[in-house]
Structure 1
Amino acid sequence: MSETVKIATLSEDGGSFDAYVARPEGEPRAAILVIQEIFGVNAGIRRKCDKLAEAGYLAIAPDLFWRLQPGVELDPDIESEFQTALGLMGKFNQDAGIRDIQATIDYARDLTAKGKVGAVGYCLGGRLAYMTAARTDVDASVGYYAVGIDGLLGEKEAIANPLMLHIPTADGFVGPEVQQAMHKGLDSHPKVTLHDYEGLDHGFATEFGKRRNDEAAELADSRTAEFFAEHLG
């Protein structure tokens, strides 16, 4: 079962934003926040939520671009929409986004018996998943092809709960130097696990479209499933 809910912000000026919620049959094992790519809460992100619900989790995807343009749904395989997405990313206030993620975590904790909440993000969402691990009380986080992590390594000591990052080695948005910095900065961190995917590009685990690589996506998703089963129950 799925629905759209309203979540109040943590900002003093108030406001609220939409979030897509997919619910499992029966009591949820835990809740998992699905953090969007630069393309909004589109069909692919909703499908990620639906699959998590099929696995027994309550999945929730907040509309993080709501301050710029509520309800963004873009297709990365259409060049004009890809360019629109890049423009939105450039305007997006990531600090405000993390506060909205915390608001969503707070909302989701009340929807499960154990109160445990994880997060999984893609692209920009992968970066935000790292920031979520460092700046919120989330119980476990996963980032796929996260961008710009080299600039966030100063926050690694704040990561108190498990974090997994999936890194395609031929990522056109995350060059070899950045990947090397990620490994150098995070390989020894007791809470962080990195997985490399040789020769794969950004977006390999998308649900729909030209970027997907079925074999690698299934491997990464199986690792994510095991990770959440271990850390969320």
Structure 2
Amino acid sequence: MPHDDLQSDFDALAPGASDGTRRGALRLMLGAGYAAAAAPLMAQDAIRTPADGLVAGEVHIDAPQGFKLPAYRAAPAGRKDLPVVLVIQEIFGVHEYIADTCRRLAHAGYLAIAPELFARQGDPMEYGELARLMSELVAKVPDTQVLADLDACLRWAGSNGGDTAKAAITGFCWGGRITWLYAAHGPVKAGVAWYGRLVGKQDDMTPRNPIDVAAQLKAPVLGLYGGDDSGIPLDTVEKMKAALAKGTPAARASEFVVYPEAPHAFHADYRASFRKQPAEDGWKRMLEWFKRHGVR
């Protein structure tokens, strides 16, 4: 996806606001649940899911090295032994759109947890420029740290009303890539990756890409991709399919759905890239995928 488009999306989190104002407002939303005061921060057609009947808000999870990992969680109030969904952020962090996604999943009967996976390195809301966000924060977050933090989230879920034998993961953009990696690493039964990058550079922080672990998947993944995504060429989807076909039973059970005219981030309802039909269809397919693979 072109950087100027991503910059516009970043600005759309709080049009006209300073970095500090944006960060404060988003933190307020996460701590207090959905509020009318949040409306100016959102696109006009952004989905706004109430927290009625839910327990929702920020928690802190015991993570490696004694770190208290902040996370947003939402779950049906008064229920136990809930299936668990890890919700993985975009590069912009755990803001209102990600929190709302958790509430939607909670209303569907899940304990949804969205950890702030950049928290050790910094806060994405403190960056007003995409280039700085990518080079000074995102590029410094190692995959090994992310996977270990997700393990910690599952442990927390098991002690806080979740049934970790029925766990899944879903993620968007940056989080879509992490979804593939965690399906090869962690104890989940299913994954749904929304337009996550499949190939790319390798370095100490990101030593492997989804295509490198495709054959080792422990859980089947449903990939939801846009045919008009300028940042993820369709030939990489075809390469991923070929790699999956040579792998474990979970790898071979993985599937792709490509929406021909959808751009990158077609599920992100606060962005101009939002496309209602593929977003709704993808959401329906995600819930069906979880149910098919025992996460319900």
**TM-score after normalising by structure 1:** 0.88
Tell me the SS of whatever aligns to 1:2: strand
Where structure 2 has 5 or more consecutive residues not aligned to the other structure, the ranges are 1-54, 201-208
1:109 paired residue number: 158
Matched residue type, 1:122: F
Distance (Å, rounded) in 1 between the aligned partners of 2:189 and 2:169: 8
Distance (Å, rounded) in 2 between the aligned partners of 1:139 and 1:181: 24
2:186 paired residue number: 136
Matched residue type, 1:121: G
Deviation at 1:180, TM superposition (A): 2.4
CA deviation map 1:132-187 (0-9, x unaligned): 10011112111100113474323123212221111112212212332221222225
**Identity, % of aligned pairs?**
28
CA deviation map 1:12-40 (0-9, x unaligned): x3222101011113425411110000000
2:210 to 144, 152, 159: 152
2:134 paired residue number: 86
**TM-score after normalising by structure 2:** 0.70
Change (3 A) 1:225 1:129: same
Distance (Å, rounded) in 2 between the aligned partners of 1:201 and 1:31: 29
Tell me the SS of whatever aligns to 1:50: helix
1:20 aligns with 2:72: yes
1:190 aligns with 2:261: no
Tell me the SS of whatever aligns to 1:190: helix
1:3 aligns with 2:53: no
Change (3 A) 1:74 1:200: farther
1:33 aligns with 2:86: yes
Tell me the SS of whatever aligns to 1:30: strand
RMSD of aligned Cα (Å): 2.1
Tell me the SS of whatever aligns to 2:70: strand
Tell me the SS of whatever aligns to 2:211: helix
2:95 paired residue number: 42
Q: Which runs of 4+ in 1 moved over 4 A?
A: none
Where structure 1 has 5 or more consecutive residues not aligned to the other structure, the ranges are none
Q: Contact 2:214–2:240 (CA<8 Å) still a contact in 1?
A: no
Q: Contact 1:6–1:17 (CA<8 Å) still a contact in 2?
A: yes
Matched residue type, 2:62: A
Distance (Å, rounded) in 2 between the aligned partners of 1:203 and 1:215: 13
Distance (Å, rounded) in 2 between the aligned partners of 1:104 and 1:60: 7
Distance (Å, rounded) in 2 between the aligned partners of 1:25 and 1:145: 31
Change (3 A) 1:183 1:16: same
Deviation at 1:82, TM superposition (A): 3.8
Distance (Å, rounded) in 1 between the aligned partners of 2:161 and 2:220: 20
Deviation at 1:230, TM superposition (A): 2.3
1:99 to 141, 145, 148: 148
Distance (Å, rounded) in 2 between the aligned partners of 1:82 and 1:204: 19
Change (3 A) 1:92 1:114: closer
Matched residue type, 1:118: A
Matched residue type, 2:220: P
